[in-house]
A and B are shown apart, each in its own frame.
Chain A
Amino acid sequence: MAKRKRRRKTLRSKLTAIAVLAVLCAAATLAAVSIGSVRYSIPEVLDAFRGPDAKAWLLVWNVRLPRVICGGLVGVCLSLSGCILQGVMRNHLASPSTIGVTSGAGFVGYLVLVAFPQLRALLPVGVIAGSFAATMLIYLLAYARGVSPVRMILAGMAVSAMFGAFSDIIRSFFSDRLGNAVGYFVGSLNGTTWDDLRLILPYMLAGMAVCFFLPVNMNVLMLGDETARSLGLDVERFRLFLIATASLLAGASVAVAGMVGFVGLIVPHIARILVGSDYRFLFPTSIFLGYAFVVACDTVGRVVLPVGELSVSVVLAFIGAPFFLWLLRKKNAM
């Protein structure tokens, strides 16, 4: 009986962690819309939601809120994508940015910008297709003939560098055609509007909705292909489905915020430390943690410099790069 109790307690601690993170998300959102070049008090911020005649409406509602929500959703998507990729590749070093998924997405994004500059609505579709192609490529290169962490990271670096080079070529040859979109995929939330969000929201929501149906299947997949198959999971089809979902999530966030690194790597890790490896808890934890993390980093980037701002990807790199090195050092990460 005593042991039963301990089990329940860990369940409670997991749920507590998730609840605390949810509160943290709300707090981060409020803080992010009130902090900035002009600082508002919380009552002023809440007042802004009343409508256009409120004092803080323009800045809070039209400038900061779309940026904060967009950043938060990018965090959610990248974290979920990282969670899924780490499961599919059975490797904790996998994430949309470490294995080149976001570079693939960015490359196709530039292609679309150059070829069909007038078709903004086409951009997310192209970017998501690019991220799917990159993920499949990595998967075939690194996984199909057995799990090897080293091969996955090396293949990821190669694919990432290749797509990065393609992107550079496009940027330098078509700089006139790209105009001020040259830095479009450089990982920043600066200037995000409600229109940007509206364009990308359906893809993000679709990807997130799919994640509700994955956890138990993911848990079964983690027992190894053979066991999963003998438990009745169609492993090949499910894995393809997971790759598509992870690509959709990563691609959607690249389309709106560019190549934001490290979120998809760090968040699943911290989530795993907090609630363990059961995907039923890992997914919600990653959702809230990803949201709060990106919103916090972007806010820091906005206010840390006396003049101008650091893009969210720079702030994330400052935190993420040391974390990645620490992970590589940890033996059991491999």
Chain B
Amino acid sequence: MYFGFRDICVSYGSRPILDGVTMDFARGSITTIIGPNGCGKSTLLKTVSRTVVPASGEVVLEDRPITAYSVKAVAQRVAYLPQIRMSPRDIDIRTLVSYGRYPYRVPGRRQTKEDAEAIDRALALAGLEGMGSRLLNNLSGGEKQRAWIAMTICQSPEILLLDEPTTHLDIGYQLEVLELVRDLRQKLGITVVMVLHDMNFTARYSDCIYVLKDRAVQCRGTPAEIIEPETMRRIFSIGARILVDEKNGCPLLIPEKLPADETQ
């Protein structure tokens, strides 16, 4: 297994959150995890950064459990953008992005030329060229999100985890962020794993979809296999009409209310 989860079980106190979750992410693909609120999607991603320690099971990176690597070694290969973040009020974009070099830092040594180049490259990839001195707090939602993603790019990861990268953004910024993610995969060959709530964006930008519900993986498949009426009814208790977006080659979901006797 290149990267994935093997039999992850997590519980908060006596309440089980995840119960034997196994996922396998193909190198260079974009995989999206979907599922109803509170199904443990974020918790699952948190096991990678070891913020949540699974009771059993393991995160696998190149056939070895992630705990076999040092925190720093993992940080050089896997970048993770959590949903809840903090930043000092007066931090500028370039400073934020420069923290992406932290895993490569040799204590006591100043920023190297290599670091500066990596920062410039990350800024350029995220479309923030020439904006390095702007304060993070003065940016629009979309720019802010791109700045954080630039920080993760600056980590030069092979694998990028994004927890709901489009939440709280308007549709224009949502599109912008997901286009950026796809761009990164194309240009850098990064393996992307993300959590999304929007089915149509999921269908359009994912190679593979995992459905998480009731603490376990319900199914996996391509967008065409997952975004279909029966699965939508089972997972979200909604009816669905499916059109085909021919230009983007993906299904398009129109959600419908289920008749009362069909909801469980």
Contact = CB atoms under 8 A, between A and B. Distances in A.
Given A226-B49, A230-B75, A231-B102, A90 B86 contact: yes
B95 to A, nearest CB: 7
B85 interface: yes
A309 interface: no
Contact of B85 (A3, A224, A229, A233): A224
20 contacts: A3-B130, A3-B132, A4-B132, A6-B133, A90-B86, A213-B108, A222-B86, A223-B85, A224-B85, A225-B51, A227-B86, A229-B50, A230-B79, A230-B82, A231-B100, A231-B155, A232-B71, A276-B88, A276-B90, A277-B89
Interface residues of A, number: 24
B84 interface: yes
Contacts of B90: 276-278
Contacts of A222: 86-88
A277 B91 contact: yes
Contacts of A224: 82, 84-86
A6 B135 CA distance: 12
Contacts of A114: none
Contacts of A226: 46, 49, 51, 80, 82, 84-85
A216 interface: yes
Contacts of A91: none
A65 to B, nearest CB: 33
Contacts of A193: none
A331 interface: no
Nearest to A219: B99
Contacts, number: 82
Interface of B: 46, 48-51, 71-72, 74-76, 78-82, 84-92, 94-96, 99-100, 102-103, 105, 107-108, 130-134, 155
A233 B91 CA distance: 19
A50 to B, nearest CB: 39
A320 B40 CA distance: 47
Given A223-B85, A231-B100, A277-B89, 10 more contacts: A3-B132, A4-B132, A7-B132, A213-B108, A222-B88, A226-B82, A230-B82, A232-B75, A278-B88, A278-B95
A314 interface: no
A216 B49 contact: no
A214 B84 CA distance: 24
A220 interface: yes
A216 B109 CA distance: 11
A176 interface: no
A168 interface: no
Contacts of A225: 51
A211 to B, nearest CB: 13
Q: Can you list the 5 inter-chain pairs with the closest CB atoms, starting with the nearest? A: A232-B75, A277-B88, A232-B103, A230-B80, A226-B82
